[in-house]
Amino acid sequence: MRLLTIGSIEPVQGFEDRLKLEFDLLREEGLNINYKITTRDNMRFYCCYVDDEILLQKNYFNKLRQRFVSCVANALSDIIINHWEPILVRRIIKENYFYFNRAEQDKIYDYARALLNYDEASGRHNVSFQIKRKTFVLHKIQEFLSKNDLIILDGFINFRLKDYIIQLEDSVDFAIDEFLMDKEYREFIKLLRHFVDLQEPKRDLVNVVFADNQIILMDENLNFIERDSSLDLIAKENPDVNMDDIIVSTLINIAPRKITIHGFNGNDKSEVVNALYNIFEGRVAFCNQCEICVKSKSFTKK
C-alpha cells in the first residue's frame, strides 16, 4: 500500500540517504518501508510503500502512518534546513539585491548565514536557533502530511513556509546592514592608512600598554605620552567620542614607525587593536613577555 509520494524539482544532495536512515530506524521497529523512484518531466518522485500484510497482521494503519509521518517529517525538515536553506538565502539575495556584484553577494550570504544562528546576548554562535527553525518546519510538514499523501517539496517550501521564508529575508536584510557598515569601515580604515603613510613619523616607537582596562601610551624610553589636548576638548564636546577613539587619533597624529602592543589578552578592547593593526599595517607587533607586560597591571597614568 502506498503511504506517501514525495516530489522534488530541485536536485537534493543526500536526499535518499537521509530518507533511508529514517526507514532503517522504522525497520528496526518491525516496520518495513520501501520506496520507488520515478521521474516525470523535470520532477523526481519518491513513492513510499508498506506491505499490505503488515497492515493486515497488526491492523493499526493510523498508528503506523503517524509513526511514518514523524520519520518523514524529521528527514524532510533536516533536508530543508541543511540543503534548501543555503539555496533560499542565495535566492533572496539574488532577487532582492541583484545590484550587488557576485563577490559582494557572496559576502552578504556569509553574513546572513552567520546571523541566522547568532545570539546577540552572548555574542556567539548558538545552534539552538537552527534547532528552532527545524522544529517549526517539522511541525508544518507533520500538519500537512496528516491530511495529504502527496508533498511537492519545492511548492511546500514556497507556499507553506512563508513565515520561515520571512525569517530568512530578515536575516538577509540585517546582513545587508552589516555588509554596508563593514564596507564603510574598511573604506575609512583605508583612508586613515593613506593619511598615516603620507605623514612624517614623529616617533620611531610607541608602546601601547593595556593595563586595568585602560590604554597607556609610552615612548621607547618608557616615558608616558600625553594625549593631544585638542582631542580631549573634542571628546568633552562630543559624547560619542570615547577615550579609545582619542588613543587611536593620538597614534595617527604621531604616525610612529613602529607600535608594540603589550598586555593584550585577545579580548578586552579588541576593536582598538584591530583598528591599529589595520591602520598601521606592517608596523604593529605584539609582546606578552617583556618587563612592561609583566608590570602592565600595576601601571597608572602620571
CA distance 191 to 267: 26
Predicted confidence band of residue 229 (pLDDT cuts 50, 70, 90): low
In this prediction, residue 77 carries a pLDDT of: 96
In this prediction, residue 11 carries a pLDDT of: 83
Task: Convert the pLDDT of each residue in 4-58 to its tens digit.
Answer: 999 999 888 888 899 999 999 988 887 888 889 999 888 999 999 887 666 556 5
Q: Above 60 in pLDDT, residue 131?
A: yes
In this prediction, residue 33 carries a pLDDT of: 87
Residues 6+ apart with CB under 8 A from 211: 263, 296, 297, 298, 299, 300
All domains in the chain, ordered by first residue: 2-191 (no CATH), 200-298 (3.30.420)
Nearest partner of 78 among 13, 167, 27, judged by Cα: 13
In this prediction, residue 301 carries a pLDDT of: 46
Tell me the angle at which helices 270-279 and 162-198 cross, rounded to the nearest 10 degrees.
50
Kindly report the number of other CB atoms within 10 A of residue 65's CB atom.
19
Whether the Cβ atoms of residue 215 and residue 242 lie closer than 8 Å to each other: no
Instruction: Give me the residues paired with residue 207 across strands.
Output: 218, 260
C-alpha cell at 300: 597608572
In this prediction, residue 232 carries a pLDDT of: 57
135-157: average pLDDT = 95
Q: Which of 10-19, 228-237, 285-294 has the lowest average pLDDT?
A: 228-237
Give percent of the chain above pLDDT 70. 89
Q: What is the DSSP string of 109-123?
A: HHHHHHHHTEETTTT
196-216: average pLDDT = 89
In this prediction, residue 236 carries a pLDDT of: 60
Task: Write the CA distances from 224 to 177, 209, 216, 300, integer angstroms.
Answer: 40, 10, 7, 10
Whether the Cβ atoms of residue 35 and residue 19 lie closer than 8 Å to each other: yes
C-alpha cell at 147: 491530511
Q: Above 60 in pLDDT, residue 299?
A: no
135-145: average pLDDT = 97
Q: Which position has the grid cell 590604554?
A: 215
CA distance 25 to 30: 9
Task: Convert the pLDDT of each residue in 163-191 to its tens digit.
Answer: 999 999 999 999 999 999 999 999 999 99
Task: Convert the pLDDT of each residue in 96-109 to its tens digit.
Answer: 999 999 999 999 99
Predicted confidence band of residue 240 (pLDDT cuts 50, 70, 90): low
Q: Above 70 in pLDDT, residue 302?
A: no
